[in-house]
Amino acid sequence: MKDISFPVLNVKMVNIDKLKANNYNPNKVAPVEFKLLQTSIEEDGYTQPIVTYYDKKTDEYIIVDGFHRLLVGIKLKLKKLPVVVIEKNLKQRMESTIRHNRAKGEHQIDRVINIISELVKEGRSDDEIMHFLGMESDELLRLKQHSTIAEVFKNHNYSQSWK
């Protein structure tokens, strides 16, 4: 069995100006997802450290995974952010960046629909659900339409176009 390291046990706070983007990350975040990331950080805090490589020559932390968490930190005018450091060469860091990006996965629609149904049952309004889940109204409506629970539509405002 391979030895597994635990960099997550060595989280440290680093001055935000020492964090630098790498020049190879292909990941882009759409504005809606970026806003959701910011909401997530504002509501839950930084629950995942930024994965970095420490460059001794420049005294900088090069980001392997977590660039958009850095952008949120900058937007929120934070001075320090949590990081972990991995010791990898450039090729290994590039591979790690792709693994981190791809390992995040995608949501299963039926499970999202179940969560929305539960949130409605718990009294969350459509506006609250859209804010906390980072959805637009048309997306929430589409997901509700896939649900068989009539309760999810109880507070929905219907168009008056038939008049």
In tens, the pLDDT along 55-70 reads 999 999 999 999 999 9
> How confident is the model at residue 85, as a pLDDT?
97
Indicate left, alpha or beta for 105 from its phi (over 0: left) and psi (-120 to 50: alpha). Answer: left
Q: Which residue has the higher pLDDT, 54 or 149?
A: 54
75 pLDDT exceeds 60? yes
What average pLDDT does the segment 139-151 reach? 74
Alpha-carbon distance 72 to 82, whole Å? 13
Tokens of 16: 């935000």
Rounded average pLDDT over 34-52: 96
In this prediction, residue 151 carries a pLDDT of: 53
Q: What are phi and psi of 160, to 5 degrees?
A: -95, 25
* Nearby residues of 153 by Cβ (< 8 Å), 6 or more positions away: 144
pLDDT at residue 70 in the model: 97
- Average pLDDT of the chain to the nearest whole number: 86
50: closest CA among 73, 18, 26, 82? 82
How many residues in the chain?
Answer: 163
pLDDT at res. 134: 78
pLDDT category at 12 given cuts 50, 70, 90 is very high
Q: Which of 47, 48, 104, 35 is nearest to 76 (CA)?
A: 35
pLDDT higher at 35 or 144: 35
For the chain, give the percent of residues with pLDDT over 70.
Answer: 88
28, HSE (Cβ side, Cα atoms, 13 Å): 2
Inform me whether the pLDDT recorded for 39 exceeds 80.
yes
Q: What's residue 155's pLDDT?
A: 58
Q: How many angstroms separate the CA atoms of 53 and 19, rounded?
A: 10
Where residue 15 falls (left for φ over 0; alpha for ψ -120 to 50; beta otherwise) is beta
H or E stretch including 29?
Answer: none
What is the model's pTM?
Answer: 0.75
pLDDT at 52 over 90: yes
Q: What pLDDT does 149 receive?
A: 55
